[in-house]
Chains A and B, each alone.
Chain A
Amino acid sequence: MTTDTHPNREDVMAWLDDELDATESAAVRAHVDACPACRALAGDLRAVSAHLAAWQIAQAPESLKLVGARVAPRRHRGFWGIPTRWQLAGLAALLLVGVVASLYVTGGSNRRIEQAAAVQQGQSGRGLAARNLGYIGATSGGADPSQPLVARTASLRLIVVDVDKTRASVEQYLSAHGGSISQLSVSGERPDPRSLTAILKVPSADLAAALAALRALGRVQDESQASEDVTSQSIDLDARLANARRTEQRLAAILLDRTGKVADVLEVEREIARVRGDIERMEAERKQLTGRVVMASIAFNAGEERRAEVTVARGSAASDLRNAASDGVQSVIALGFGAVLGLLRLGPTLAVLALAIAWPARVWWRRRRTARATAR
């Protein structure tokens, strides 16, 4: 195998997956090391695996367990598919959360409003920002503490006439309504149908209107929406953040005393640094959570309809003829070379077989001729 004779591309993949035997693996590895094209293919395949490796799954729930040597019985469900015992627990928890949240979120509401305003920075529309702050503020101490925090996502796939026009319309809408494009790709090349894929960010309060506007751009193939209640996650995060800040303050007060040994002081400083790291991580998480609630994400895909067209042969006919002739000569050479290789591979075997068959055949023929001669 040389850089001129590439292995089967699937063999490169099989080599990466440890599916080849030792000999094949060594040959493919040596080729990939020397061949930029195959090295690029291997790189692309590794990148796919790296992307997918980011798809983490949370730990299995505690309720997935064995009871003795039996599997835990399936959960019995009450109304709306929610287990009955959880309904009662949920009511009690809701009551408690309502009381705690009304005391707690009053203190944290100012910080959340500031963070929401920071998320809105750079987007057009002060009124838009105010409306979305109201969306968050509705859960703060001012208004209704039981209103949940919900992160909304949607996906929409359309068939459109022209991807470029669709893209321009999408960008125009987002610009006018305080949205943005988080990620975008356009694939395909004319005259083949092209496809646009993007992650759009729109204010959560305007999700329905945004979806209606996007639907109008083409023919809907499929659509879905999802909501995730992140209220408990938010409350838990705020509680942990408050605890961490109190811990930091206590440690700072200890440090101010400086009455202990140097080793103790150093230990306190290390602990402050660790707690500060936790606080910053949780604040980043808080900001991300707020962002998810304030701005809904739409996974948007628009594909052009295939339009068959009569195309005149493009490019140089002479070039096509030359390439065809070259391919033809190459085929003849490959055929001839293959025939020679075949003869070399099979020749010795055929020769031995011929000898093994020819000698007894000759003997038999002679005896037959003699027998005929004597019979006359």
Chain B
Amino acid sequence: MTSDEDLMLACRGGSATAFEELFRRYRQPMWGYFRRRVADPAVAEDLAQETFLAVLKGASRYQPLARFRTYMYGIAHNLLAANRRQRHRDATEPLANDVAAPHAPSEDDALWIRQAVGRLDPDDREIVMLREFEQLSYQEIATVLDLPLNTVRSRLFRARLDLARLLAPESEGRR
């Protein structure tokens, strides 16, 4: 199977087929990335489209210095950050915690997970989500978020311990 990096280099050479293949591979992952971080599905879809558009526009300048998916998630992260800044500027009221409602076996499990994830520090939350859902390596997460590798490790560990405490009630079991 052709690697993502080779496909992107083919895009740089003007291959529409190569970009279609990249789009096919990353359509669902990009949708999942934004859908978990943005409550409004319409906004999530717009951001996913903008990410592909940005990749396409930047194809002529693409250099395979890192894995393609690191490059793509880096663009997605920047677009999401810009969108959040814009929405904070435009909001007339304090915005609610913008973690999208998850689908889970039961509605209560969904709220429980959302509550726990929403209570994490925003930076720690992003690290643990990139690891658990996007399956990025520690180095890739460090590249996307522009953080030192050791910082990613320690914050990921801290976030997971926090989630372990939040998701597993100590004194009262789930009723």
Contact = CB atoms under 8 A, between A and B. Distances in A.
A335 to B, nearest CB: 26
A9 B169 contact: no
Contacts of B46: 74-75
Contacts of A52: 113, 117, 128, 132-133, 163
B19 A14 contact: no
A66 B11 CA distance: 15
B34 to A, nearest CB: 10
| Main SS class of interface, B | helix
Contact of B111 (A56, A57, A153): A153
Interface stretch (B62-70, B74-82, B150-158): B150-158
Contacts of B153: 10, 13-14
A122 interface: no
B156 A64 contact: no
A186 B48 contact: no
Chain A at the B interface: mostly helix, strand, loop or mixed? mixed
A58 B50 CA distance: 20
A181 B19 contact: no
A199 B102 contact: no
Contact of A69 (B19, B36, B48, B170): B19
Interface in B119-175: 119, 128, 131-133, 137-138, 153-154, 156-157, 160-161, 163-172, 174-175
Contact of A184 (B102, B132, B164, B169): B169
Contacts of A13: 153, 156-157, 160
Interface size class of B (residues with CB under 8 A): 35 or more
A60 B153 CA distance: 31
A186 B171 contact: yes
Contacts of B167: 47-48, 51
A79 interface: no
A183 B115 CA distance: 12
B13 to A, nearest CB: 13
20 contacts: A17-B138, A19-B137, A44-B168, A51-B163, A56-B104, A64-B27, A66-B52, A71-B49, A74-B49, A75-B42, A75-B46, A151-B107, A183-B108, A183-B169, A183-B175, A186-B171, A199-B108, A222-B97, A299-B111, A299-B114
Contact of A57 (B32, B45, B53, B94): B32
